[in-house]
Structure 1
Amino acid sequence: MIDALVARTGQPTTTLLGPGDDCAIVAAADGRVVATVDVLVDGVHFRTDWASGEQIGRRAALASMADVAAMGATPTALLVGLCAPAETPTDLVMDIGRGLDAEASKVGAGIVGGDITRSTVLTISVTVLGDLAGREPVRRSGARVGDVVAVVGRLGWAAAGLAVLSRGFRSPAALVGSYRVPEPPIEQGVVAALAGATSMIDVSDGLIADLGHLADESGVAIEVATRVVPVHARLTEVASALGRDPMEWAMTGGDDHALAATFPDKASVPADWTPIGMVREGSGIVVDGQPWTGTGGWDHFGSGG
């Protein structure tokens, strides 16, 4: 199985020694390596009856690579751990590998190693290494009073897709597809870093929840104006049909892996980013002038997790 998976993958020039030995060797010209890991579990992060193996693999790669992007770095290498029940179809495993490799290749990264073992639940662990190319990392703790808060990427699409699937529907295809495979703006992490972003985060658990992490780590308050939060017309249409609030999806829905960042002023916000608020003195999140007291997003060990 491992040989078959490896045979289908290519390697970038940063891979000095790829799969086949006890360890891989990856070039780190910067002298520092950005590293992150994400674990996806069947029934929690994906369902095999809702998504194909290739879609599951793509989602697994993108979820981890978005964290590297949020540091202002470029993904260079992926290490994959796959735990699967003995009865798992071989084709499903191969398709997961194909999806992982497809997304890694798009950003010039390679799958340099991994492990496969038996378990009771299909589980995928993806470790991503990244390169800062000499830049300082953009951390969560750098937001300053007076900074502009901005976002790039989709907000609420995955949550809307999940709501559609949970009702037994398979359309609109764009929303369902966003739940199956997000579209994180990986390249925008470097764009934000070069533009002078003072802090940045991957929006994986919900905009409010993740902006809360920026606020807490930076010791500031973040103020958001809902009138400028991007809500696509398709979300509004589906929310109306399901009796839901599209702004709730945009503010608290996870799994889109958009990027949120703070910038010194509006002039420094990159072209594709949307300003949605300001950094203020204080603590926590303020929405439309009122402290946010509702649920901020996904919590695996909370009452909804």
Structure 2
Amino acid sequence: MTETLGSTGEFGLIAAITKGLSTGEDVLVGPGDDAAVVAAPDGRMVITTDLLVEGRHFRQDWSSAYDVGRKAAAQNLADIMAMGARPTSLVVGFGAPADLPTAWALELSQGLVDEAELVEASIVGGDTVQSDKIIVSVTAFGSLDGRPPVLRSGARPGDEVAFTGRLGWAEAGYTVLTRGFRSPRSVVEAHRRPQPPYAEGPRAALAGASSLCDVSDGLLSDLGHIAVASEVAIDVHAHALSVPEPLQAVAAATGVDGLKFVLTGGEDHALVGTFEPADVPEGWTVIGSVAEGNQERPAGTVTVDGAPYAAESGHAHFRS
């Protein structure tokens, strides 16, 4: 007989999840008390939170519980990285039907732990509740280690736009899955489990990045956040962006412009930022420029080769 959350019970599940959890040096009090205590050596804490909802952000027939755990942790850790900070800890909220197999929840937990371990962050607590569908809420905490945060509002005219990480892979994977296919495997895996360039956030901050943003909603959409916050105009140079072969294959099979995946696809959690030309870190790809707004390209806008991009610029919640 399969053990379910109903038979395991809330406290049995919590005990199974927290058994053997290790904590890093930033954690002063870990799971087991009413709240965790995490050190903030310079008096500041970077905090972010995200939700994953079954049927909206993942499907059990597309992703394993382990994949969902990795993805839930990654999207939060990437936001910490995008502030130029170092992730320290996570708390997790988990809602699920009572008939969900307990093994699924434990596999999810292992995915969260393994992703957090990539950046030496710790799972320090959370909550569980019965719900009609699976919901995973993760809140991440990070340390600036004495540095100022890198904000979206710091881009300056004359800066170059550069990125690191993968663009469009997760969107290509989603496109494949919605059509009932499972290949190319590389893009399907990218949808299931992103690979953020975690080390590059603090590295960009140390290099002098004037602004940074995690590419979660799409390159153009997230550059739009920088353009609005910084009151500048940003132009992306299409010739500087490559369309990797797996994305070309999906584009050819589905009739989608491969460049659209790169410009508008979200959930890869690449990192995009602006730098003085001499400050662009090695390994980052320069893809555009920052200018003052004018009548032709007002402040707050993003263009591609000097013109508005015809397709939707990226994901937006509550878009009808």
- Shorter-chain TM range is over 0.9
Is 1:241 the equivalent of 2:258?
A: no
Q: In the alignment, residue 169 of structure 2 is paired with which amino acid?
A: W
Q: In the alignment, residue 316 of structure 2 is paired with which amino acid?
A: D
Describe the superposition over 1:139-173 as per-residue Cα deviations: whole angstroms up to 9, x where unpaired. 00000000000011100000000011111111111
| 4+ long deviations beyond 2 Å | 291-294
Is 1:206 the equivalent of 2:218?
A: yes
Quote the residue 1:114 is aligned against.
Answer: 126
**Aligned-pair CA distance for 1:218:** 0.2
Quote the residue 2:314 is aligned against.
Answer: 297
Quote the residue 2:178 is aligned against.
Answer: 166
> SS of the counterpart of 1:290?
coil
Is 1:140 the equivalent of 2:160?
A: no
**Aligned-pair CA distance for 1:278:** 0.3
Q: 1:256 aligns with which of 268, 293, 303?
A: 268
Quote the residue 1:52 is aligned against.
Answer: 64
Quote the residue 1:175 is aligned against.
Answer: 187
Distance 1:241 1:14 in 2: 48
**Aligned-pair CA distance for 1:293:** 5.0
Distance 1:157 1:230 in 2: 12
Q: 1:278 aligns with which of 285, 289, 299?
A: 289
Q: Structure 1 length as normaliser, TM-score?
A: 0.97
> SS of the counterpart of 1:97?
helix
Quote the residue 2:169 is aligned against.
Answer: 157
Aligned length: 302
- 1:202–1:173 Cα change, 3 Å: same
**Aligned-pair CA distance for 1:108:** 0.6
Quote the residue 1:33 is aligned against.
Answer: 45
**Aligned-pair CA distance for 1:9:** 2.1
Note the residue ranges of structure 2 that are not aligned, 5 or more in a row: 1-12, 294-298
> SS of the counterpart of 2:43?
coil
Please identify the structure whose Cα radius of gyration is greater.
2
- 1:32–1:98 Cα change, 3 Å: same
Q: In the alignment, residue 232 of structure 2 is paired with which amino acid?
A: V
Distance 1:226 1:72 in 2: 27
> SS of the counterpart of 2:28?
strand
Distance 1:215 1:102 in 2: 35
Given that 1:151 and 1:274 are in contact with CA atoms closer than 8 Å, whether structure 2 keeps it comes out as yes
RMSD of aligned alpha carbons: 0.9
Is 1:268 the equivalent of 2:275?
A: no
> SS of the counterpart of 1:102?
helix
Distance 2:243 2:163 in 1: 12
Equivalent residues in 2 for 1:7-46, closer than 5 Å = 7-46=19-58
Distance 1:197 1:233 in 2: 30
Given that 1:189 and 1:259 are in contact with CA atoms closer than 8 Å, whether structure 2 keeps it comes out as yes
**Aligned-pair CA distance for 1:8:** 3.9
Q: In the alignment, residue 165 of structure 1 is paired with which amino acid?
A: L
Quote the residue 1:131 is aligned against.
Answer: 143
User: What percent identity do the matched residue pairs reach?
Assistant: 52
Distance 2:239 2:245 in 1: 14
**Aligned-pair CA distance for 1:291:** 2.7
